[in-house]
Structure 1
Amino acid sequence: MRDDLLQPGRLWWNWFGEQYFVPRYVAKPRTEEDVQDIVRAARRMDLPIRASGAGHSNPAVVPTPGIHVDFDDFRDVISVDPDLLRVVVRPGIRVGDLSRFLRTRGMSLNNQGDIDTQTIAGAIMTATHGAGITLPCFSAQMIAARMVIADGSILDLSAETDGELFKAFRTSLGMFGLIVSITLQAVPSYNIRKTSWNADTEDCLTSLHDLLRDNRTFWFFWLPHKDSADLFELPATVPSRTTRDNDICHMRAYNAVPASTPAPALNAGEVFDHSSVIYPNVYMPNFREVEYAVPFARFEETFDALRQLFRSTYPEALFPIECRPVKADDSYLSAYSERDGYALSVSGPLEESTWPMLRDVDAIFDRYDGRPHWGKHHFMSQARMEKLFPRYDTFKALRREIDPDGIFLNDHLRALFV
């Protein structure tokens, strides 16, 4: 083992500043052998291990008293297959860095979320997503992976050869081992024409299914007040069809064309560029957030319940509610496991007073069978997990088989998965 691989622990905190801890050791691997040495050292010292990406998860998925593995120096592109449109990367590479790299090779990610500073591994392991009724979450783009498991050995997994285990691994929050490489299925490079406008909420809901059908991607932000847009830095100068200054929607439609297509003449509220440029938004970490995905067919009633809650009980709340459809996938713990979903993200300020509001929001999601986004705050219990995830018990059994001593768990995960 490199003499400098295990360093004394130092303070780590996440993007929002809500989670922080000091582990016994911190390690920044640069090779697969480094990762194996870290796991073997942890076993010798009887210490747990948790890895971090870019720290974008709200819950306490990283904190550990043992060894904190920081993948920030383990973020290169290993190989590219231009014929099969596949790329192999290290776990610490950022989504945006990979998306921009793929552009230079004539490729794009099939879909991505509106924050691109997350690591690839973190986005996949938490089932982070973009939007579109034909587009599944980010983890569906992973077709193979290589990881170091609890005994320090290498385990190669692929969708083609490892069936059920791979489905469980896709959204496993780092509980199966330390990832050392990920193989992603890309698509031919494409540009996006994005159209933004504001509308009254009633108009949004009336036209919702037409907009979902007619656009590759459509999503909207419900703005309880006109000034709500400023909190997420949404553009102020877009065409407006609103008749009031509150209870309105900021609408977005995205449509793709091959990268070779010339830029069209653009109307007000439109932009056109490569997918790597159009997808990401800039957000300040000034909010506390929950996000749940309800069954697609229950979106309207869930949204109506949230809308009424805020208008009646929290009329001063300002943060937008983000609403995005996502196609079903086959991952065991994805919020879209075996069902099309509609994700609703609800935020409040980073203040203690936000928690009661989020609890009330959670009660609505519980009523409508909402499944959590694992990178956002949630209030899950084992009883709720059993109700919501048909393969929950199978996932736990596979986790115990891969990591029988729970070396990759922490207190937050142990409460749900042991």
Structure 2
Amino acid sequence: MVHGQGGFKFQNWARTYGSSPELFFQPTSVEEIKEILDLARQRSKRVKVVGGGHSPSDIACTDDFMVQMGKMNKILKVDEEKKQVMVEAGILLSDLNVELSKYGLALPNLGAVSEVAAAGVIGTGTHNTGIKHGILPTQVVALTLLTASGEILECSESINVEIFQAARLHLGCLGVVLTITFQCVPEFYLLETTFPSTLQEVLDNLDSHLRRSEYFRFLWFPHSENVSVIYQDHTNKVRPRPLQP
């Protein structure tokens, strides 16, 4: 029987939002999640699922049941031929990146923070840089979804297509994401170039900046005109790996 923790206080990473769920759960299996959903139905409670808690909004906050997927964090399958990886929803991208490197693979684009869970990073529409790259949910080729009724749906571009398209950016609305299959690319390295500019210059020449760098971004310092422009582009210069102990 799965047990929930009372008295838990949730705060997002930025400490801008928080809540005190009636019960807090960290399931280790699909069976335990089904038990949580059964209990929620019996008590007429809503269930919110949270990953790394990095969303700047209050989307994960609840006074009812909160489910944190951090203990369901395994890599389930690596298809080296297709360059795809299937993972449990709670795996952090920081851990996934390390494992993918062992296979010479990488995700084609990442957000600014790596301590985020796989299901959360797609569910909140996380993006990064580069006009040629989609948001992180576009890297998903398949997923499995546990609905409130306890049904498990396999979703992809050929199975449950409409649900798949919605679930890739689910906002926690459709059920509990159990597994995700990401499309990867061969491992690559980026060379970063940073230089100062002004907000007006960047906005006036935005198209030029976007063409000049594959992973272009800029950081504006509020209440000033100061901007830090960041170019990141593929390079053949490989930084030596640290020696393993």
TM-score w.r.t. structure 2 length?
Answer: 0.90
Residue aligning to 1:189: 187
1:157 to 155, 158, 167: 155
CA apart distance, 1:72: 1.6
Residue aligning to 1:254: 232
1:13 and 2:11 aligned: yes
Name the SS of the counterpart of 1:217 in structure 2. Answer: coil
Name the SS of the counterpart of 2:218 in structure 1. Answer: strand
Question: Which runs of 5 or more residues in structure 2 are unaligned?
Answer: none
Residue aligning to 2:100: 102
Q: Structure 1 residues 197, 273: closer, same or farther in 2, change over 3 A?
A: farther
CA apart distance, 1:169: 1.7
Name the SS of the counterpart of 1:181 in structure 2. Answer: strand
Q: Quick one: distance in 2 between partners of 1:104 and 1:206?
A: 42
Q: Structure 1 residues 64, 127: closer, same or farther in 2, change over 3 A?
A: same
CA apart distance, 1:251: 0.6
CA apart distance, 1:219: 1.2
CA apart distance, 1:198: 0.8
Q: Quick one: distance in 1 between partners of 2:207 and 2:81?
A: 36
Q: Quick one: distance in 2 between partners of 1:52 and 1:9?
A: 17
Q: Structure 1 residues 33, 131: closer, same or farther in 2, change over 3 A?
A: same
Q: Which amino acid aligns with 1:32?
A: V
Answer yes or no: is the 8 Å Cα contact 1:36–1:153 preserved in 2.
no
Larger radius of gyration: 1
CA apart distance, 1:159: 2.2
Q: Between the two proteins, what is the percent identity of the paired residues?
A: 27
Backbone CA RMSD of aligned residues: 2.0
1:213 to 211, 214, 219: 211
2:25 to 24, 27, 35: 27
Answer yes or no: is the 8 Å Cα contact 1:37–1:152 preserved in 2.
no
Q: Quick one: distance in 2 between partners of 1:102 and 1:191?
A: 14
| 1:173-205 residue CA offsets vs partner (Å, 9 max, x unmatched) | 111001111111111110101111112344434
Residue aligning to 1:286: none
Residue aligning to 2:73: 75
Q: Structure 1 residues 64, 185: closer, same or farther in 2, change over 3 A?
A: same
For residues 386-405 of structure 1, the aligned pairs below 5 Å read: none
Answer yes or no: is the 8 Å Cα contact 1:192–1:273 preserved in 2.
no
Q: Which amino acid aligns with 2:82?
A: L
Name the SS of the counterpart of 2:189 in structure 1. Answer: strand
Q: Structure 1 residues 175, 201: closer, same or farther in 2, change over 3 A?
A: closer
Answer yes or no: is the 8 Å Cα contact 1:89–1:183 preserved in 2.
yes
Q: Quick one: distance in 1 between partners of 2:228 and 2:63?
A: 43
Q: Which amino acid aligns with 1:248?
A: N
Residue aligning to 1:142: 140
| 1:144-181 residue CA offsets vs partner (Å, 9 max, x unmatched) | 11121011121111123232222122212111001111
Q: Which has the higher helix share?
A: 1
Q: Quick one: distance in 2 between partners of 1:177 and 1:106?
A: 33
Name the SS of the counterpart of 1:7 in structure 2. Answer: coil
> How many residues of Structure 1 are paired with residues of Structure 2 in the alignment?
241
Question: Which runs of 5 or more residues in structure 1 are unaligned?
Answer: 226-245, 264-271, 275-418
Q: Quick one: distance in 2 between partners of 1:78 and 1:91?
A: 11
Q: Quick one: distance in 1 between partners of 2:12 and 2:61?
A: 10
Residue aligning to 1:308: none
Q: Structure 1 residues 273, 136: closer, same or farther in 2, change over 3 A?
A: farther
Q: Quick one: distance in 1 between partners of 2:199 and 2:17?
A: 35
CA apart distance, 1:206: 4.6
CA apart distance, 1:134: 0.4
